[in-house]
Amino acid sequence: MHFAVIGTTLGLVCAGTITSHAATINFDALADGDSVTTQYPGLTFANTIVLSAGISLNEFEFPPHSGSNVVSDNGGPIAIAFSTPVTSVSGFFTYLVPLNLTGYDASNNPVATAASAFQSNLALSGDPGSSPNEPLILVFASGISRVTMQGGSGGGSFVLDDLSYSPVASSGVPEPSTGLLAACALLCAAAARSAATPRDARERKP
């Protein structure tokens, strides 16, 4: 079993089970080839493009976690800025190169990191023991204001589906503890795993 815990950050977790207040974006309301920027209130994306199964997505190697759309890194790492800090950010990732996530606080200090468990987890040609749609999470109880998701420098190296995030709890509402988040992560990590020449996330048609 492979999972990473760095500071308050957990490498693997079941996204969406962290807290009942988590919001999830599946990107299915957008069209193939759309650049994702400010379509979702409170979030600003950079270097992010929509790929759709049956159109531009190579879904045989990069199957969506849900629906038919995913987003991919386009010309650089995906960056997401939150207008209101969040305690956790998670998603399901399929990648052809190692993937690193970093969360920053409001002062732009790195406060959480997570790394992929494998060099590649493509559905057909990923590393032995890997599976597509690996869950990764960043957690920082005091609030994450921005995240970066770094694969290959030129982009087209990974896809993200079902992005989830949990806003910092308002006064009077208890936040989930880091220990609870860790327990959830370990339970979910223990429940997942199964096996299968790297390709770009985009479908290459003759």
Helices (runs of H) and strands (runs of E) counted in the chain = 1, 11
Helix (H, G, I), strand (E, B) or coil at 188: helix
Residue 48 CA to residue 55 CA, distance in Å, equals 17
Asked which of 23-32, 65-74, 166-175, 186-195 is least confident by mean pLDDT, the reply is: 186-195
CATH number at residue 173: 2.60.120
Range of the domain at 96: 5-191
Alpha carbons within 13 angstroms on the beta-carbon side of residue 80 total 32
Strands 23-25 and 155-167: antiparallel
Q: How many domains, in total, are found in the chain?
A: 1
Question: pTM of the full predicted structure?
Answer: 0.76
* 203, β-bridge pairs: none
**135-175 confidence digits (pLDDT tens):** 999 999 999 999 999 999 999 999 999 999 999 876 544 44
Report if residue 49 sits inside a domain.
yes
Q: Is residue 196 domain-resident?
A: no
Radius of gyration of the chain, Cα coordinates, nearest whole angstrom: 16
Using CB atoms within 10 A of its CB, is residue 158 exposed (0-12), middle (13-18) or buried (19+)? buried
